């Protein structure tokens, strides 16, 4: 089994039931402690990591690059991950923790280039800092991908929680796009909010403020639901009910606007924090769906 020897899915399931659905610092720490044994620690076999590359001027405009050691027969798809943190916290990597290196490793060990990126945080950097930073990351990748064997036309944006909101608002609003379609071939949203007018305004206030008119104006839901871009939406079994409501809303709205459902994944044995920790775990129930989406997406312009 490798990482996580001696542990089991049954153990994970039992502990998740104890942790419950709440999104707090305590449940984050308990969730990370639960999933950490299933992941490798640095240095990582078969993967080269380049840390804290700058994609912009701010100190948080930094990203980590995960490159397969094996030579590529052709340019590789690029997977970019934006972390969550309720708009006010979070990090691409903390010393001694496998998160969110596990996302970059998952990509690199499947023949892709992995990128984990930081972005500016509220309240010092409110709307529209998130999609502005996503735009900066996309520009950087398109400028540098060929230097490390990446294919910028096969860029996949992955966002978790508030990171998914940043990806969603970038995709939904063309004013942030440096190239047609945003330069993205596909995307995945994990435990995110898409219909902001249905979401808890207090939780969004540090980033969006308290003006309902602004939230309605920037709401990405209608544009996402109508989009032809391959977008996968994922929610965890133990996600909070509001995250599950958002998942149900985007499914229903996409069906009404496009006449078909988008790719949808309900991840068993996961909560709001551990769903991204599935990537690279022995019992990963999320990664195969993301990998399939990337493999079948048409390259961007």
Question: Which pLDDT tens digits describe the chain residue by residue (301 residues)?
Answer: 334 444 788 999 999 999 999 999 999 999 999 999 999 988 999 999 999 999 999 999 999 999 999 876 789 999 999 999 999 999 999 999 999 999 999 999 999 999 999 999 999 999 999 999 999 999 999 999 999 999 999 999 999 999 999 999 999 999 999 787 789 999 999 999 999 999 999 999 999 999 999 999 999 999 999 999 999 999 999 999 999 999 999 999 999 999 999 999 999 999 999 999 999 999 999 999 999 999 999 999 8
Residue 29, domain member (yes or no): yes
Residue 117 maps to a domain: yes
Question: 């639901």: which residue's tokens?
Answer: 225
Residue from 20, 24, 68, 22 nearest 45 by CA: 68
Report the CATH number that the domain containing residue 193 is assigned in CATH. 3.40.50.1820
pLDDT at 178: 78
Q: What is the pLDDT of residue 280?
A: 96
Q: Is residue 267 part of a domain?
A: yes
Judging by DSSP bridges, how do beta strands 47-54 and 62-68 pair with one another?
A: antiparallel
For the chain, percent helix, then strand, then coil, each to nearest 5?
40, 20, 40
Looking from the CA of 28 toward its CB, the CA atoms found within 13 Å total 11
Does residue 3 fall inside a structural domain?
no
Position 1 in a domain? no
Structural domain count, the chain: 1
Q: Please give the residue range of the domain that contains residue 120.
A: 9-296
At residue 245, the pLDDT reads 97
Helix 162-172 × helix 129-144 angle, to 10°? 70
Centroid of chain to Cα 196? 18
Q: Please check whether residue 79 lies inside any domain of the structure.
A: yes
Q: Is residue 275 part of a domain?
A: yes
Look at residue 2 in the predicted model and tell me its pLDDT. Answer: 39
Report yes or no on 59 lying in a domain: yes
Q: What is the pTM assigned to this prediction?
A: 0.95
């Amino acid at each position: 089994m490798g990482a996580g020897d001696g542990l089991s899915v049954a153990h994970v399931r039992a502990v998740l039931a104890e942790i419950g659905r709440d999104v707090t610092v305590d449940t984050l720490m308990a969730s990370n402690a639960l999933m950490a044994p299933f992941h490798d620690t640095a240095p990582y076999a078969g993967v080269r990591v380049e840390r804290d590359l700058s994609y912009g001027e701010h100190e948080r405009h930094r990203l980590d690059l995960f490159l397969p050691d094996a030579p590529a027969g052709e340019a590789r798809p690029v997977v970019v991950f934006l972390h969550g943190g309720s708009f006010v916290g979070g990090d691409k990597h903390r010393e001694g923790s496998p998160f969110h290196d596990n996302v970059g490793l998952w990509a690199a060990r499947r023949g892709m280039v992995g990128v984990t990126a930081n972005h500016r945080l509220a309240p010092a950097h409110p709307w529209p800092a998130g999609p502005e930073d996503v735009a900066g990351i996309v520009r950087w990748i398109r400028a540098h991908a060929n230097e490390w064997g990446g294919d910028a036309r096969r860029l996949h944006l992955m966002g978790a929680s508030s990171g998914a909101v940043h990806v969603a608002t970038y995709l939904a609003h063309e004013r942030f796009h440096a190239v047609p379609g945003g330069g993205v071939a596909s995307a995945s949203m994990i435990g995110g909010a898409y219909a902001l007018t249905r979401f808890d305004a207090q939780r969004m206030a540090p980033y969006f403020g308290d003006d309902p008119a602004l939230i309605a104006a920037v709401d990405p839901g209608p544009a996402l639901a109508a989009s032809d871009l391959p977008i996968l939406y994922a929610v965890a079994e133990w996600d909070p009910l509001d995250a599950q409501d958002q998942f149900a809303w985007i499914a229903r709205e996409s069906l009404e606007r496009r006449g078909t459902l988008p790719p949808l994944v309900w991840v068993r044995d996961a909560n709001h924090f551990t769903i991204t920790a599935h990537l690279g775990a022995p019992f990963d129930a999320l990664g195969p769906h993301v990998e399939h989406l990337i493999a079948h997406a048409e390259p961007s312009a």
